[in-house]
Amino acid sequence: MPYTSPAQDIYFTLSHVLDFKSVQGTDRFADATDETTRAILTEAARLCDDVLAPLNRAGDTHPARLENGIVRTSPGFSDGYRAIAVGGWVGIASSPEFGGMGLPLTLATAVNDMMAGACLSLQLNPLMTQGQIEALEKHASDTLKELYLPKLISGEWNGTMNLTEPQAGSDVGALTTKATPNDDGTYAITGQKIYISWGDNDFTGNVCHLVLARLPDAAPGTKGISLFMVPKWLPNADGTAGAANALRVVSLEHKTGLHGSPTAVMSYEGATGWLVGAPHAGMAAMFTMMNNARLGVGTQGIGVAEGAFQKALAYAQDRQQGRAKIVEHADVRRMLATMKAETFAARAIALDCAISLDMATATADPAATARAAFLTPIAKAFGTETGISVSNLGIQVHGGMGYIEETGASQYLRDVRVTAIYEGTNGIQAMDLVGRKLMDEGEAAFALLEEIETATEKARASLPDLADPVWQAAETLREATEALLARDPASRMGASVPYLMGFASVLGGHYHLAAALSGDASRTRLAQFYISHLLPKHAGDLARAHVADDVLMSLTAENLATP
């Protein structure tokens, strides 16, 4: 079954569900007209469907491998990457000053969605580069910008992010990689990093590593961390790649999925690096890249959900069971409807988050910045959880054939599973939501609730049966938010994941209601299904926001180990 990029669905969401017109109305993004948006989506869809999607299975069955210190990538990946680079897709939202298109992040997010659905293993490469580009644009010296940005934006070079060490995962402050000053203004970087996505390849001219390390006078914890650019090949005076740097790929991880994406253990052995940003301010620069990646990773989950749904739908329409195709069976219909409805909700959340980021960039409006910050952990966590749950349902739709590798149904689940873990686990996203993101006394949360309730009030005139449940869900969410705010932040953590998921469910109802208002019969029926069958989940999730953590935290390790 060929993959078909959801370009039309994305355009519909931007045009009828979300306020992308506000982005188009800014001076910064005035070139992102409807005509340009359609052209971008159409061309990106052609790339995904014709070039990238055929590589997805090859990446799974012929993994990247390390041979004599050289990473050999999966068959066809070199040509696929070259098509991405030549098309300018790496730098779609990057500064025109260094060769980028300068288009809204919203369009880059839409393109990444389609690429992830086509071939997640390969899409991860430009996604990491895009995050690095943003970090350099905001924090690097002019010299580093002029050298690295044109090559990263063009796709001639690619970028990575090096945080994790064997003893320092989510606790980044525990890292021990050292940065010793050299006499020429560079630094000697020594240490080991693990889980480095696309730590090396055989198709770009250089691999540019952003590495967190400690200077000799660094304070303990995250306050003592600095960020360094450490390229695989040291640049010559003319900017071309020169001599090999003192770094190497020790090994590639043997993973559950994403076999086409080489995940490296990196060793830095006095490698030459250049400081990015101020000394001891590495976390601020790295969080720029991580926040970009969090939206990007949420989008990966959505793309995979789309691919899994399409495969399951095609199978259900073809598979005969008794007198009918299995698509006619109620439970199969329930699963397919759930897959499509949840994917739409997750996609709308991610695109809405991107719109807020674009508005913050274009207008410097603090409200847009706060809105984007609040939506980011929801987009990441809900997008990836949707990818996992939809891919799991896809296997179930296939029945026994879904458990057979040759059908390809299980690859979606194996590939997407890690997205709930990297760039900050979904539990960390939820803790961020009820912790830092509610430090404004709930102002950003309540502003979103006002948007939802205002929209439902207007919708009551034409679609009262759909509008009323969404309005009531928003009120339940308001009460849960008030309950959390009344508690000490430390006591909110046990409710953090259900609160995030409950918030996402209510947002999903809001977006489905907006889709139904377009008058499209299929959209209306899908909204009816979501609001009647899936939205009610929010009540159970949000009920836990009223429960203190006492019972949860009273469960000791001994209690849990008791037979």
Strand partners, 52: none
Q: Which residues of 282-313 are buried (b: 16+ CB within 10 A; e: fewer)?
A: bbbbbebbbbbbbbbbbbbbbbbbbbbbbbbb
Q: Count Cβ atoms below 10 Å from residue 70 Cβ, excluding itself.
A: 11
Give the end-to-end CA distance of the chain in Å, rounded to a whole number. 47
> Tokens representing 560?
């849990």
Q: 299: closest CA among 411, 421, 386?
A: 386
The beta-strand segments (E) located in 128-202 are 157-162, 178-181, 187-197
Which of these is catalytic: 137, 306, 423, 475?
423
**Residue that is written with structure tokens 């739409």 in the block:** 344
Residue partners of 348: CB distance under 8 A and separation at least 6: 13, 17, 18, 507, 508, 511
What is the distance between the alpha carbons of residues 305 and 326, in angstroms, rounded to a whole number?
20
Please list, residue by residue across 87-108, b when 16 or more beta carbons sit within 10 angstroms of its beta carbon and e when fewer do: bbbbbbbbbeebbbbbbbbbbb
Three-state SS for 555?
coil
Q: What burial class does residue 157 get, using C-beta atoms within 10 Å of its C-beta: 0-12 exposed, 13-18 middle, 19+ buried?
A: buried
CB 210 within 8 A of CB 159: yes
- What's the chain's Rg over C-alpha atoms? 23
Active site (annotated) includes residue 406: no
The letter for the amino acid at 185 is G
Cβ contact 383:346 at 8 Å: yes
Q: How many CB atoms lie within 10 A of CB 490?
A: 8
Q: Which tokens go with 131?
A: 């995050």
Which of 203, 200, 91 lies closest to 150, judged by CA? 91
- Residue pair 152/158 in contact by the 8 Å Cβ criterion: yes
> 157: which strand partners?
206
Does residue 425 sit in helix, strand or coil?
coil
Residue corresponding to tokens 């390229």: 231
Residues catalogued as catalytic? 423
